[in-house]
Structures are given as C-alpha cells and as structure tokens.
C-alpha cells in the first residue's frame, strides 16, 4: 500500500504552508498523476500562497506551486506547468496535463530546470510573444539584479539583442551581470544615469514598475536621440509598487508603447509553445541558473528566508529524487 501523500498546505492566507498529509490528486480527463521531483519557490508562488496574485481564486486550503519537474507515468522526466491554481506542485504527487509539459534533455539537472524555468519564462515569453523583437535590438532590463532580471539579461542576448543595459539596486549582483552578457551596468537609484545609458534602446524589460519605472521612463524619453523611434516598454513585475505615475508627455512626445506580459495577456497555449526552447536553454547552460536545494519537509522553516540577497532560487525536492 502506498504511503499517504503529503503536500505543503496553506490553511490561511498570510501564513506559511505546513507539510502534512493531503488527499491524493485525482486526474481529470487528459491529465495524469505525476510524481514531483523538484519545484521552485518563485515570487509567483509566494503571491499565490498569500492570495494576493491577480489570478487568485480565494479558495482554501490550497497547495501552492505553479510548475515543477516530475516523473510521468511513462517514466519520462518532464518539466510541467500546474493545471490548477489550488492544487499546485508543492506536493509529492499532482495531476498534470502532459500537453503542458516538455521532456528534459538527457543529462539535464532537474533542480536547475525547476529553479530557472519560471524566471526565464517571464522575459522569454515577453520578448517572443508581446513584441516583435528585431534582431540586433537594444534592450534595457530594469530590476536586473533579481532572479528574473538576471535571466532576462541572458535571454535578451540569446534571442538576438545586440546590447543589453542592466539596471538594479544590488551593486554586488549588478557588477556580476557583465559576465552574463550585460554591456552597460547602471544603478537603478539614479534615473538620470539610466536614461542616458539607455537613451536609444528599443525595448525595456521592466520588473520594478512603481515610481522608479516612471522616473526612468521620463529620463529615458528625454534623453532619446530620435524621440519618434519606437520604444516597447514591457511591464512584467512590480517589485517597487503596483502603481506607477506615468507621465502623459512621454506617451505624446515619443514612440513609447507600454504593454504587459503575464497570465492573461499571454494565453496558456503560447506559454506551452515556448517551453521546449526555455528548457533547452537552461539544460545547455545558455542561461545560467543559481539554485539552493531543500527538502519539502523544511518548507515551513525556509519559506520566509528564501531568495534572500546573495542566494539562489530555493527548490524543494523529494527525498528520493
């Protein structure tokens, strides 16, 4: 008889999940039950567990987790995206749709894929699906010192950018981005300097939003050599605030176009279509990923400390991975 299943369970929004017994998943039509091998604690998972993500259904209890690497019934090891917002991947087993999965290449590290696919996906999908990224485009990454921003620097270069300006708050992490492909490094707390350094970029990948984004937007538009040249600003994250006071003059007096990228603006099928390229880039080391590994049984203890400055993305694994 199989041991009772355990999962990280959120009983109340705002409290850390606990590792406890939980009912077995039941596969719906077109789904299969997957043995979870590794799953990342992404910011998206934190907001899911807090009930604050814009896709939250407000239902409790819930098992957080939006993606994972797992063993499918056919024996294949795959990266997959969760089918349910309330029965996520932080469990020993989960129901998943094989159509939203990709087989890992031989030799791929499940932990690296679990750590990297979500942060890599944010910029990859934005640049591939929300704008028409021209070969040789110049890109500014705002919030480049976080895991997603760090990945965005590498993704932009991988997808054909000729130059990348990286801007962030953490000076130590910022300095390291030159080794990952960033051509210009500039502190985010100096909007005027960011504007001058990125005056003629074609694309902004924005993970910060809030007041810093609007300050950079104003400075960048003012500094442009050709204000009529199109500038695609992609809002992906909001680490500096949910609201940004957008200067209307920047929209009227320049080629600035603002779009968002995320669940809703990009359909599920589009995300799934990009999975093979994302997983291959991580597996091949084209996009470098930092990860720290922990056991599911330590989820309550480690939840609050994950992703502290200077650490890699926390990945929870099963004992027999």
* Structural domain includes residue 96: yes
Q: Where are the alpha helices (DSSP H) in the chain?
A: 43-50, 110-125, 147-158, 171-176, 191-197, 210-223, 248-252, 268-283, 299-302
In a domain, 206, yes or no: yes
Judgement on whether residues 140 and 56 belong to the same structural domain of the protein: no
Mark whether 71 and 136 lie in a shared domain: no
- pLDDT of 14: 85
What is each CA distance from 287 to 120, 269, 279, in whole angstroms? 8, 23, 10
Q: Output the domain CATH number for residue 35.
A: 3.90.180.10
Predicted confidence (pLDDT) at residue 2 exceeds the cutoff of 70: no
Q: Among residues 216, 240, 260, which one ends one of the domains?
A: 260
Q: Based on the domain organization, do 127 and 250 belong to the same domain?
A: yes
pLDDT, tens digit (0-9, with 9 covering 90-100), for 233-247: 999 999 999 999 998
What DSSP element (H or E) covers 166? strand 163-168
Q: Which domain holds residue 166?
A: 119-260
In a shared domain, residues 126 and 243: yes
Q: Is residue 26 a part of any domain in this protein?
A: yes
The predicted structure's pLDDT at residue 152: 98
Q: For residue 255, what is the domain's CATH number?
A: 3.40.50.720
Name residue, tokens 């880039």.
Answer: 281
Query: In the prediction, which pLDDT does 167 show?
Result: 99
125 and 255 share one domain: yes
CB 236 within 8 A of CB 261: yes
Pair 149, 85 in one domain = no
Radius of gyration of the chain (CA): 20
Residue 52 is predicted with a pLDDT of 75
Per-residue pLDDT band for 144 (boundaries 50, 70, 90) equals very high
Residues 161 and 98 in one domain: no
Per-residue pLDDT, 74: 98
Question: What's the pLDDT score for residue 1?
Answer: 44
Domain-embedded: residue 282: no
Do 169 and 125 belong together in one domain? yes
Q: Answer whether residue 121 shows pLDDT above 80.
A: yes
pLDDT attached to residue 3: 75
Residues 6+ apart with CB under 8 A from 312: 115, 147, 289, 290, 291, 292
Do the domain assignments include residue 256? yes
Whether the model clears a pTM of 0.95, i.e. scores above it, the answer is no
Q: Is 215 within the bounds of a domain?
A: yes
Same domain? For 145 and 254 the reply is yes
Q: Of 211, 245, 260, which closes a domain?
A: 260
Where among 217, 244, 260 does a domain terminate? 260
Q: What is the pLDDT of residue 69?
A: 99
Residues 142, 248, single domain; the answer is: yes
Predicted confidence (pLDDT) per residue in 205-229, tens digit: 999 999 999 999 999 999 999 999 9
Q: How many domains does the chain have?
A: 2
Per-residue pLDDT tens over the stretch 23-55: 999 999 999 999 999 999 998 899 899 887 666
Tell me, yes or no, whether 75 and 127 share the same domain.
no
Asked if 161 and 79 sit in the same domain, the reply is: no
Q: What average pLDDT does the segment 171-186 reach?
A: 97
């Amino acid at each position: 008889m199989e041991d009772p299943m355990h999962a990280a369970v959120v009983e109340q929004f705002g409290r850390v999940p606990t590792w406890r017994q939980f009912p077995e998943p039941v596969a719906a039509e077109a789904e299969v039950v997957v043995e979870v091998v590794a799953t990342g604690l992404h910011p998206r998972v934190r907001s899911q567990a807090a009930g604050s993500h814009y896709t939250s259904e407000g239902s409790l209890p819930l098992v957080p987790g939006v993606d994972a690497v797992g063993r499918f019934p056919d024996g294949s090891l795959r990266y997959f995206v969760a089918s349910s917002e309330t029965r996520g991947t932080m469990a020993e087993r989960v129901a998943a749709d094989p159509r939203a999965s990709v087989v890992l290449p031989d030799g791929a590290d499940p932990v690296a894929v679990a750590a990297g696919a979500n942060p890599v996906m944010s910029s990859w999908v934005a640049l591939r699906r929300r704008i028409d990224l021209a070969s040789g485009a110049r890109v500014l990454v705002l919030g480049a010192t976080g895991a997603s921003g760090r990945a965005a620097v590498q993704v932009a270069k991988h997808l054909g950018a000729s130059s990348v300006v990286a801007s962030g708050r953490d000076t130590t992490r910022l300095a390291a981005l030159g080794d990952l492909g960033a051509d210009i490094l500039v502190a985010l707390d100096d909007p005027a300097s960011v504007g001058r350094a990125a005056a003629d970029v074609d694309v902004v990948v924005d993970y910060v939003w809030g007041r810093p984004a609007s300050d950079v937007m104003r400075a960048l538009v003012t500094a442009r050599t050709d204000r009529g040249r199109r500038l695609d600003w992609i809002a992906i994250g909001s680490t500096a605030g949910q609201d940004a006071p957008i200067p209307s003059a920047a929209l009227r007096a320049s080629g600035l176009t603002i779009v968002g990228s995320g669940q809703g603006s990009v359909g599920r099928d589009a995300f799934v279509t990009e999975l093979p390229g994302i997983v291959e880039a991580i597996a091949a080391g084209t996009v470098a990923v930092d990860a720290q590994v922990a056991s599911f049984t330590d989820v309550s203890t480690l939840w609050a400390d994950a992703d502290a400055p200077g650490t890699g993305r926390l990945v929870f694994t099963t004992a027999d991975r």
